[in-house]
Structure 1
Amino acid sequence: MKLIKGILLVVLLAFTKVTVVAQQSTEIAPDSTRNKWIPDYAYMQFAGGQGLLSLGAGYKLGKRERGYLDLGYGFVPSGVRGRAKNIVNLKYSTWLVHPIQIKPNMSLELLGLGLASSWYFGPEHTSLKEGYPEGYYWFSHATDLRFSVGARYNYDFCEKHLIKRVTLYGDLGRTILYSVNQFKNPEMLFNHFVNASVGVLLHFD
Structure 2
Amino acid sequence: MTSPAKLSAQFFDALVPGEVVVQHAGSIGFFSVGAGYRVFKNKRGNVDMNYGFVPASKGGPLHILSAKFAYRPFEIRIKDWATIYPANPGAFVSYHFGKEFDFYWDKSQYEKGYYWWSSAIRPHLSLSNEVKLHGKKIVRGEKIKSITLYSEFNTNELYLVSFFQNHGDLSMRDVFKLGIGVRVGF
Displacement of 1:58 after TM fit? 1.9
CA deviations over 1:62-88 (Å, ceiling 9, x no partner): 01011001111000001111x300000
1:136 touches 1:185 (CA, 8 Å); kept in 2? Answer: no
CA deviations over 1:150-197 (Å, ceiling 9, x no partner): 110011122952010000001111112321243345686334431001
- Please name the residue that 2:156 is paired with: 175
Identity %: 30
Tell me how far apart the structure 1 counterparts of residues 144 and 35 of structure 2 sit (CA, whole Å): 14
> Of Structure 1 and Structure 2, which has the larger fraction of its residues in helix?
1
The 1:44–1:64 alpha-carbon spacing in structure 2 relative to 1, beyond 3 Å, is same
The 1:143–1:107 alpha-carbon spacing in structure 2 relative to 1, beyond 3 Å, is same
- Please name the residue that 2:100 is paired with: 124
Counterpart residue identity of residue 171, structure 1:
E
TM-score (structure 1 length as normaliser)? 0.72
CA deviations over 1:19-49 (Å, ceiling 9, x no partner): xxxxxxxxxxxxx9x9222101110001000
SS state at 2:57 partner: helix
| Structure 2 residue ranges without an equivalent (≥5) | 1-9, 107-112
1:139 aligns with 2:120: no
- Please name the residue that 2:68 is paired with: 91
Q: Residues 64-83 of structure 1: matches in 2 within 5 Å? A: 64-81=42-59, 83=60
* Among candidates 14, 25, 48, match of residue 47 of structure 1: 25
- Alignment RMSD: 2.5
Runs of 4+ in 1 over 6 A off after TM superposition: none
Counterpart residue identity of residue 144, structure 2:
I
- Please name the residue that 1:163 is paired with: 144
1:202 aligns with 2:179: no
SS state at 2:15 partner: coil
* Among candidates 77, 86, 92, match of residue 110 of structure 1: 86
Q: 105-114 or 189-198: which moved more?
A: 189-198
